Amino acid sequence: MRAIVQDRYGAPGTVLTLREIDKPVPKEGEVLVRVAAASVHRGDCFLVQGKPFLMRMMTGLLRPKPGIPGFDIAGRVEAIGTGVSDFAAGDEVFGSCEGVFGACAEFVCAQASKLVGKPAGVSFEQAAAVPTSGLAALHGLREAGRLEPEQKVLINGASGGVGSLAVQIAKVLGAEVTGVCSTRNVEMVRSIGADHVVDYTTEDFTNSDRRYDLILDNVENRSLKEVRRALVPRGTLVLNSGSGAAGLRLLIRLIKPMLLAPFVRQRLVRYLSVPKKGDLDYLAELLESGRLTSAIDRTYPLEEVPAAMDHLCAGHARGKVVIAVEDGQTD
């Protein structure tokens, strides 16, 4: 099968190559999926670039374990491993495939517990765009943020992969939503349901009279002090970005909110989104009912994954970056 393979760290355009490799065989509890579409997200950038360096503890210090990027897939079940009873060959599914062999390939093995049925009226590309970013948005708002109906929520980075889904999910959860993005994305953020849009090139959300019950910060480009100024006295700040800093600065950025949290009335939270079948089912229901739509920045063919990831890793994707794998599939 054809797959995008990485065997050293660096810029995606230089370290990712298209190769012919063996088709994987599903183990116990796994499903072999013929991938129709995949999507990539910012976490894939960290893994391919080997930055932040701390990440290499898991992926290999000097060289990465040979791997295929991507966590998110939509496709058809090709075969099932032992112990899988909820899927059969031919079923249309979408979800998350974590592990060494990732989504940017013609076939991938995924744990059955991280896949759900794809709604019939939703395209493979639409579905593939949702799992990691949609779950990060849902978990950031609902679990970490404890969002309640009618609360005022601000989403920093509202036009990105997580942000564009978070705006819509926050609306479904009954919130009044403000999205922060640059001028070229104002209309897009409004079109996906934001009640208010702040153009960060002309307006500073940390320096206005508006106060929010919850801020989901996908960018973390402002100091804690500045962002907390935009919260109500007992508001919640959910921090959702590890990018934009390195070394000691990154470590300080990661732990500072936790050190400060016991001494302030506002809740300061970091979280790690872990795929759960029930939550994926919930996102599938939202897709099926039309209450959630993937804003797709651009769809690239499999051989253009290096260019797709260079675009994503530059940090200004408008919605999700999707890979159409199905065309040209070979056994």
Q: By C-beta, is 67 or 161 nearer to ligand NAP? A: 161
Contact pick of 39, 96, 126, 132 for ligand NAP (by CB under 6 A): 132
| Integer Rg of the chain from CA | 20
Residue 200 touching ligand NAP (CB under 6 A):
yes
- Report, in Å, the least distance between residue 134 CB and ligand NAP: 10
**Tokens matching residue 190:** 């409004």
End-to-end Cα spacing for the chain: 6
Window 10 to 29, contacts with ligand NAP (CB under 6 A): none
**Torsion of the alpha carbons at 48, 54, 56 and 61, rounded to the nearest 10:** 130
- Report, in Å, the least distance between residue 136 CB and ligand NAP: 3
**Tokens matching residue 313:** 């890793």
x/- mask, ligand NAP, residues 258-277, rule CB under 6 A, reads: -------------xxx----
Contact pick of 12, 24, 26, 43 for ligand NAP (by CB under 6 A): 43
x/- mask, ligand NAP, residues 150-189, rule CB under 6 A, reads: ------xx-xxxxx----------------xxx--x----
- The rounded distance, in Å, linking the Cα atoms of 310 and 303 is 13
The CA distances from residue 311 to 3, 21, 34, 154, in Å, are 19, 26, 26, 26
Q: By C-beta, is 117 or 161 nearer to ligand NAP? A: 161
Contact pick of 110, 141, 175, 219 for ligand NAP (by CB under 6 A): 219
Give the sign of the dihedral formed by CA 322, CA 33, CA 111, CA 303: negative
**Could you tell me what percentage of the chain is helix, strand and coil, using 3-state DSSP and rounding each to the nearest 5?**
35, 25, 40
Using the contact rule CB under 6 A, the part of the chain among 24-32, 171-179, 281-289, 312-320 near ligand NAP is 312-320
Which residues, other chains included, contact 69 with Cβ-Cβ below 8 Å and sequence gap of 6+?
Answer: 4, 6, 12, 16, 40, 44, 47, 48, 102, 103, 104, 305, 309
Please report, as ranges, the residues that interact with ligand NAP according to CB under 6 A: 41-43, 132-133, 136, 156-157, 159-163, 180-182, 185, 200, 218-219, 221, 240-243, 271-273, 315-317
